[in-house]
Amino acid sequence: MIQLIDIRKSFDSQTVLDGLNLEIETGKITVIIGQSGGGKSVLLKHMIGLIRPEQGEVLVEGVDIARLNDRKLNDMRKSFGMLFQGAALFDSMTVGENVAFPLQEHTRLKQKEIDEIVQQKLLQVGLRDVAHKMPSELSGGMRKRVGLARAIALDPKIILFDEPTTGLDPITADAIDRLVVDTQKHTNATCVVISHDIASTFKIAHVVAMLYQGKIIEIGPPDAVKSSQNPAVQQFIQGTAEGPMLDYHLLNI
């Protein structure tokens, strides 16, 4: 469904993606793991056309979205849902309005029908009676739930998750993990999750891909990745500071 071929991208002469190849399987949860600052978010943003590659193709259902014009890209984006790291809820709108936003923008439904869908989506992510609240009144976990409800409002075929569990306590993180799995089962959508949380990765993933030095160095079912021979993969899974992977930030000091 999503295919990235030989993607190269650099910011200010620092190469982030270096000839990356990746294929996302339809109807599965693919978790991309890697170091912080290693280009995972950049990779995710390529898939929805927020960032265009310097080289290579991003094929979504066979169409190279990196070459599309704005109008066609927008049409394509309607089949996407994305949950941002900080949920990215609109501060000026209530929770209900946030979830209703894509419906109002892209459907001709009446207000009453929209309200019903909003209620249903909020219930689906486990929230009740929050539609009138402002995002600032919600906890981090609840905000992510609302963000997810907004992402699935248009029943997208592809859902992207940008570090869904980062910054949450383990219990809430687990709840969000379950929500990701439930949502995927419920909608049968193709899910791409980026994460550096090993525990949650192996809880939810159908496929795990490891990003390192601008390339996918390992991809496969969780068990296969766990038993990978690649020392970098092993180091990341074990979570030790010694190994081929150095602390990214230490290098700069």
**Which positions touch another protein (CB under 8 A)?**
45, 48-50, 70, 74-75, 77-78, 80-82, 84-86, 88-92, 101-102, 105-106, 150, 160
| Least Å from the CB of residue 54 to another protein | 19
Q: Which is nearer to another protein, 82 or 209 (CB)?
A: 82
Q: How far is the CB of 51 from another protein (least distance, A)?
A: 10
Q: Which is nearer to another protein, 178 or 249 (CB)?
A: 249
Closest CB 78 distance from another protein, rounded Å = 5
Shortest Å, Cβ 2 to another protein: 14
Of 109 and 198, CB closest to another protein: 109
- Distance from C-alpha of 222 to C-alpha of 95, rounded to nearest angstrom: 36
Q: Cα(134)–Cα(244) distance, rounded to whole angstroms?
A: 46
Bridge partner list, 32 = 194, 209
**What's the half-sphere exposure (Cβ side, CA atoms, 13 Å) at 75?**
7
Quick one: 111 or 238, whose CB is closer to another protein? Answer: 111
Which tokens in the block code for residue 48? 């929805």
Minimal distance, residue 86 CB to another protein, in Å:
5
Nearer to another protein among residue 168 and residue 232 (C-beta): 168
Got the DSSP string for 160-209?
Answer: EEESTTTTS-HHHHHHHHHHHHHHHHHH--EEEEEE--HHHHHHH-SEEE
* Rounded distance between C-alpha atoms, residue 71 and residue 77, angstroms: 10
DSSP state of 57: E
